[in-house]
Amino acid sequence: RLALNTGVAVNPKVVGVGKDKSDRATLDQVLDARTRLVLGSLKRRGIIDDIEYCISTGKEANVYYSGRPALSTDSASPSALAVKIYRTSILAFRSRKSYIEGEHRFKGEYTSSKNPRKMVRVWAEKELRNLRRLHQGGIRVPIAIEQKENVLVMEFLATGESASPRLKDAELSQEDVARLYSELIVIMRRMFKHCKLVHADLSEYNILLHDSHICIIDVSQSVEHDHPRSFDFLRKDIHNVHDYFTRLSRGDIGLLSLRRTWDF
């Protein structure tokens, strides 16, 4: 493990490096100094433990595994954590503009790429708020624990020892397919009508199969139902989901009954 000067140890495997002296340089690129300070303070506050391994590397964020902190006194807190760290590089959030713009919740916030640090903080904050709103609305999502700057700490959704699979990677029987499809339709409708959110990046990649149920993740780009482009995003979400399940069911899904359900 590499110590990070900030009291948080990171397993070198996390960043896919060996044991030579270039470790430090590689680690620096993945977790910049500010981010390491944030992790250090989260650990001192007993919110996270050491970063054990990398769950996922993406264009805009990496997700890491952290055990339940030894300091934790809250018995209701999850037994393991997923720590999502948003990249602060300019490239990463150019594509986010169209989601943040038009969000009345973030009027006057730093929505331009002039200040990458603040922009990315807004993004992480948005995911935290969306997760909480969905949870309160009865949608299965990881429980959001804390957000500081570009770091979001949430419940780690596990199946056995490993992360719960994405819908894309889950092995499903035809009965599962039908059951999960109707579950998802109810969820999407509830998200819109009750939680007043459109996911805006919904697909088999951003849905986990957890305890045999649909669990929604990756909601940093989700928008209010009255966002000027909310219907474009909703249409796309419906299209993705519909397409995927049609493929899974080899065309066997009752499209007509579906149309009636989509009574937005």
Helices (H) and strands (E) in the chain, counts: 8, 13
Q: Which of 7, 16, 58, 228 binds ligand ADP (CB under 6 A)?
A: 58
Interaction partner, residue 123 (Mn ion, ligand ADP, none; CB < 5-8 Å by kind): none
Interaction partner, residue 156 (ligand ADP, Mn ion, none; CB < 5-8 Å by kind): ligand ADP
Q: CB 39 → Mn ion: shortest distance, Å?
A: 21
Interaction partner, residue 163 (Mn ion, ligand ADP, none; CB < 5-8 Å by kind): ligand ADP
| Part of the chain binding ligand ADP (CB under 6 A), chosen from 19-27, 103-111, 160-168, 183-191 | 160-168
Q: What three-state secondary structure class fits 65? A: strand
Binders of ligand ADP among 123-152, rule CB under 6 A?
A: 142
Contact 32, 88 (CB under 8 A): yes
Helix (H) or strand (E) holding 54: strand 51-57
Q: What three-state secondary structure class fits 11? A: coil
CA–CA separation, 118 and 124 (whole Å): 10
Binders of ligand ADP among 201-230, rule CB under 6 A?
A: 205-206, 217-218
Interface with ligand ADP (CB under 6 A), residue total: 20
CA 1 to chain centre: 26
Q: CB 171 → Mn ion: shortest distance, Å?
A: 20
The residue count for the chain: 264
Instruction: Return the active site residues.
Output: 201, 218
Compare residues 155 and 224 and give the one whose CB is closer to ligand ADP.
155
Compare residues 30 and 253 and give the one whose CB is closer to ligand ADP.
30
**Burial letters 177-188, b for 16+ CB under 10 A, else e:** bbebbeebbebb
Helix 174-193 and helix 230-248, axial crossing angle in degrees, nearest 10 = 170
CA–CA separation, 218 and 229 (whole Å): 19
- The reply to whether 82 sits near ligand ADP by the rule CB under 6 A is yes
CA angle 119, 223, 236 (to 5 degrees): 115
Compare residues 27 and 223 and give the one whose CB is closer to Mn ion.
223
Interaction partner, residue 16 (Mn ion, ligand ADP, none; CB < 5-8 Å by kind): none
CA 112 to chain centre: 22
- The reply to whether 52 sits near ligand ADP by the rule CB under 6 A is no
Give me the residues that bind ligand ADP (CB under 6 A), please: 55-56, 58, 60-61, 63, 82, 84, 142, 154-157, 163-164, 166, 205-206, 217-218
